Structure 1
Amino acid sequence: MVEVKSESKRHKGVGKISGRQRVTMHDIARVAGCSQATVSLVLNNNESVKISEQTRERVFEAAKSLGYRRAARPTPSVSEKSSFINGPIAFVVDNLAASPESVNAFDGVMQAVKSTGNLVLLAETQNDPDLEPKTLQHFLDQGVAAIVYACVFTREVEVPQILQECNTPVFLLNCFSENLRFPAVIPSDIAGGHTATNALINTGHTRIATITGEPFMQCASGRTVGYRNALASADLPYCEELVVEGNWLPSSGYSATQTLMALPNPPTAIFCQNDRMAVGCYEALKEMGKSIPNDVSVIGYDDDEIARHMSPPLTSMNLASRAMGRWVVEQLFHGPMGENRRHPLTKLECEMVERDSIAPPRMAKPPG
């Protein structure tokens, strides 16, 4: 995968983009303190909307500080033209509105094809067994160059028969098939859960709780495995009482936090396995008169837009949705293909975005 390293800078109230990750307009918006739509208008020199010079300068400064580089559309030579894919790319997702991850993955595809000139067509099937095959057949009849088959929740899928029988390249995004016949990419949730928990351990916490998602979902089970692995690596005990099941909604984060803080020996840090549950966690802690992070540190997951607007701004794991979209396009244009070959399942690491919701526990000294 072709990536651009972003600078690891800390921006007050916004956070630090850690590790190796291609800089996107979403990153620039987070640093500049504006919407992604504003960043797009500014960087594309679109003057149809009046934007203040101050905002424009802030966007340009954020883009410069993060090392953003706009990909120029290549002009292929005659010998190179055969390597370009003709026709639109179809992005077919089960549910677009359930969470921002699907939108972000689609945005990643859109960003990646800016340098190729391909169009991207979008359709939502809502897991409808009648609508899905009709949608796929429509795109195949239109002669699309490739189909991206995406799921809102990471899981193993049975690839529709129509895609198994077609000659059009098919890519699985946030899902995978048992036979690994199709190139597939998912987030590395085990590594993400480990990184989130380890950040709390490195700050000095030893009594760390987690509020999980629904356990039948692969992302929740993976993040919990990562949580347990991090504790084991630090030689910290795993305590069942510190693991409370949620359902991804703020209300479950609220009630789970009440349960955790009512323990005789409550945690000093809480790993919420998505940002929406972290919102409920914040509310519960504040109602108890607890200070974040002085009394209790909190880390989230997904790096939703709300994370940077919370008080204090929430440290969170940036789900690799856009990176998965870019990966698909990279594979389409440059990856190995073959109808009968097995494709290794690709797992993309989630990066931590550091903000102000983590601090050493009271009466504890920072490591080192």
Structure 2
Amino acid sequence: MREAAKRLGYRPNAIARGLKTGRSGLIAMILPADVDRSAQELVFELLVGLSSALSKKGFRFLLHAADSANDVIKAYQDLYRGAGVDGFIVIEPQRSDPRICFLLEGNIPHIVHGKDPAQVHPFVDVDNYQLAYRLTEALVMAGHKRIAFLNGLETRSFAEARAAGYRDALAAANISPRSHFHSFGAQTPDRGHAALRQLMQADQAPTAVIAGNTMIARGIYNAAAELGLSIPGDLSVLAHDDDLSRYPAAGFTPALGGSRSPLANAWQRLADALAGHFSEDDRAAQNYLLEVTYHLDSGSIAGPRDDQA
């Protein structure tokens, strides 16, 4: 019977199933009011990817935008208690995130795209510490000592982990960190553009830059061109690539190197993990670290010039 249903593309009626199980099959995600502008760029990809992945598991997806930071917890309460939402997907977690705390205390099914280091919760993530360490280490091994890092928002836990990886990689090479070489902020082209122009005004300008994502890298490339800087002749650039449709690493000249973990890989894992809350299959509910690949021999990295050493 199951094979026949599969061939015919049959899916259980959500209302009928809800009457039997007491669940609505509705999964919600609430966008925080202070969502990073780079995350706003991802909303369409996120909607399509998550909706498709959840649909394959028999769920429906609801996106809700909170009016302000103070309304976020109330929004969770209203959707769970009043709108019949079965569970939640949380994005852009912070340390001691009150959203995660509320969901844990209420024993409400949820999965976090990212990891709050102060709480034990279900998550799908990449190893952000290792990611930043590897990119910094690659530039050090190429001979760079003046390495800048344009990180994400300081309040985000992924940016905290990446900052630690960057610092530790410098320390392992006995390179003293320069405070103005590491900055937090929105992961957008405008940020990358403005930050590089400011960095290059210093007497001891960086010879290499790590970008938190390819949107920042696009701004770096544009600013470098305006300043007459050659990549990688004057400046090496590495970035983390989420495989964003509007900012593909393959669209950079020279080819952009760094780390890569497509966000599309996260969607199905998030759906699988959340489905584990309603399944007897414990494996589905396990935390998951996504694979990260590294491309560190690209055209965007070279050793510093002799006069830059």
Taking structure 1 as the reference length, the TM-score comes to 0.59
The 5 A counterparts of 1:84-233 are 87-95=24-32, 98=37, 99=39, 100-101=41-42, 104-127=45-68, 129-130=70-71, 133-134=74-75, 136-144=77-85, 146-152=86-92, 154-159=94-99, 163=103, 168-174=108-114, 176=116, 178-180=118-120, 182-233=121-172
1:12-36 Cα deviation digits (max 9, x unpaired): xxxxxxxxxxxxxxxxxxxxxxxxx
- Residue ranges of structure 1 left out of the alignment (5+ in a row): 1-70
1:211–1:272 contact (8 Å) kept in structure 2 = yes
In the superposition, relative to structure 1, how do residues 133 and 87 fare at CA in structure 2: closer, same or farther (>3 Å)? same
2:26–2:59 contact (8 Å) kept in structure 1 = yes
Structure 1 equivalent of residue 230 of structure 2? 291
Per the TM alignment, residue 241 of structure 1 is displaced from its structure 2 partner at its CA by 5.7
Stretch deviating more after TM superposition (244-253 or 161-170): 161-170
Stretch deviating more after TM superposition (155-164 or 295-304): 155-164
Per the TM alignment, residue 172 of structure 1 is displaced from its structure 2 partner at its CA by 3.0
Query: 1:177, 1:239 → 2: CA distance?
Result: 24
Structure 1 equivalent of residue 247 of structure 2? 306
1:239 has 2:177 as partner: yes
Per the TM alignment, residue 86 of structure 1 is displaced from its structure 2 partner at its CA by 6.5
**Secondary structure, aligned partner of 1:291:** coil
Query: 1:126, 1:228 → 2: CA distance?
Result: 36
Query: 1:297, 1:124 → 2: CA distance?
Result: 39
1:332 has 2:274 as partner: yes
Amino acid at match of 2:27: A
Query: 1:353, 1:106 → 2: CA distance?
Result: 29
In the superposition, relative to structure 1, how do residues 105 and 154 fare at CA in structure 2: closer, same or farther (>3 Å)? farther
Seq. identity, %: 21
Structure 1 equivalent of residue 14 of structure 2? none
Amino acid at match of 2:62: L
Query: 2:145, 2:8 → 1: CA distance?
Result: 51
The 5 A counterparts of 1:35-74 are none
- Residue ranges of structure 2 left out of the alignment (5+ in a row): 1-5, 12-16
Larger relative contact order (CA 8 Å, sep ≥ 6): 1
Query: 1:203, 1:114 → 2: CA distance?
Result: 46
**Secondary structure, aligned partner of 2:303:** coil
Count of equivalent residues: 281
2:103–2:110 contact (8 Å) kept in structure 1 = yes
1:297-338 Cα deviation digits (max 9, x unpaired): 112235343243343343354456444433332223347999
Root mean square deviation of aligned Cα:
4.2
Higher helix share goes to which structure? 2
Query: 1:126, 1:73 → 2: CA distance?
Result: 43
Question: Which of these residues, 292, 300, 307, is aligned with residue 358 of structure 1?
Answer: 300
Taking structure 2 as the reference length, the TM-score comes to 0.69
Query: 2:157, 2:8 → 1: CA distance?
Result: 38
Per the TM alignment, residue 277 of structure 1 is displaced from its structure 2 partner at its CA by 2.9
